[in-house]
Homo-oligomer: A and B are copies of this chain.
Amino acid sequence: MYLSLYLIDTQYNIYSMKKFILDLIVKKNVLLSNQYSLIILTSSEKLPEILPGQFAEVRVDGSNTTFLRRPISIHYVDYETNELWLLIQVIGDGTKRMAEVKVGETMNIILPLGNTFASPTRKDAKLMLIGGGCGVAPLLFLGAYFKREGYEVNFLLGARSEADILQKSEYERFGNVYITTEDGSLGEKGFVTQHSVLKGSNFDYIYTCGPTPMMKAVASYALKTNAVCEVSLENTMACGIGACLCCVTDTVDGHVCVCTEGPVFNITKLKWQI
């Protein structure tokens, strides 16, 4: 287990990273399904360095009922085309408005926020990235990073049905993609933790993001199989930069802010009942 090294690494990265408030321009807005949109943003300036797992705080202009910014994961950063990708699931008025942005509009965004995932120290470690619903968002950027760093990447993506399996071909660029759907319309039928790939082999590192029940099931699988496991948590956030203390979660180190100490946590730090 390489926990302490990971911690040092992560801390170093985050605290040395400057945050920016940027007006990014909408280059594309692709409707992926009735619930999901892929928003591709760009800028006349070079995008700053962003690590996988980090998120952005997006100001929602043009929504009468939205007051605070909304935290959104970095789905992908393409430095060659200078593109930042966001994957938006429509939940309430804020995400509804975001999903409707038109090409050419600007979005005011604070980034990069939060910490990143820990890289295994051995390049031959077996990695599995498990995402459910909109939680798949940060895993694309993470998978791309791992692939570039020379790891072999596996994705396990779960959703209700085929229509909600998003960006499949993008994930396939960076690793093997396994799929479960609850209705069996694509991949294996059932929940992610029921997928045969988890039975077939053991993974050294498991990274997961998605609904809490799913992440807890994954964490419990990881504990059983002795895998290092990191989860990316959500929380209600007012500021995203550690100023308001609204986003705390209970850890073995006490209450800590998800926006600065997370969103990525090693499950051994969390006080989850699993």
Interface residues of A (CB under 8 A from B): 60-64, 66-67, 97
Tell me the complex Cα distance, A62–B97, Å.
9
Tell me the complex Cα distance, A104–B27, Å.
21
Q: Identify A66's interface contact among B60, B64, B97, CB under 8 A.
A: B64
CB distance from A72 to the nearest CB of B (A): 18
| Contact partners of A64 in chain B: CB under 8 A | 60-64, 66-67
CB distance from A100 to the nearest CB of B (A): 10
Q: Oligomeric state, in number of copies?
A: 2
CB closest residue in chain B, given A59: B64
| Contact partners of A67 in chain B: CB under 8 A | 64
| Contact partners of A66 in chain B: CB under 8 A | 64
Tell me the complex Cα distance, A61–B63, Å.
8
CB closest residue in chain B, given A97: B62
CB closest residue in chain B, given A102: B102
| Contact partners of A97 in chain B: CB under 8 A | 62
CB distance from A13 to the nearest CB of B (A): 34
CB distance from A65 to the nearest CB of B (A): 9
CB distance from A101 to the nearest CB of B (A): 12
CB closest residue in chain B, given A66: B64
Tell me the complex Cα distance, A144–B61, Å.
40
CB distance from A60 to the nearest CB of B (A): 8
CB distance from A7 to the nearest CB of B (A): 40
The 4 closest A-B pairs by CB, nearest first: A62-B62, A64-B64, A63-B64, A61-B64
Most buried by B among A60, A62, A97: A62
Tell me the complex Cα distance, A66–B65, Å.
10
Tell me the complex Cα distance, A67–B67, Å.
13
CB closest residue in chain B, given A100: B62
Tell me the complex Cα distance, A66–B64, Å.
7
Most buried by B among A62, A63, A64, A97: A64
CB distance from A43 to the nearest CB of B (A): 23
Known: A62-B62, A64-B67. 8 other contacts (CB 8 A): A60-B64, A61-B64, A62-B63, A62-B64, A62-B97, A63-B64, A64-B64, A64-B66
Tell me the complex Cα distance, A60–B62, Å.
10
CB distance from A255 to the nearest CB of B (A): 32
Tell me the complex Cα distance, A67–B64, Å.
8
CB closest residue in chain B, given A62: B62
CB distance from A33 to the nearest CB of B (A): 23
| Contact partners of A63 in chain B: CB under 8 A | 62, 64
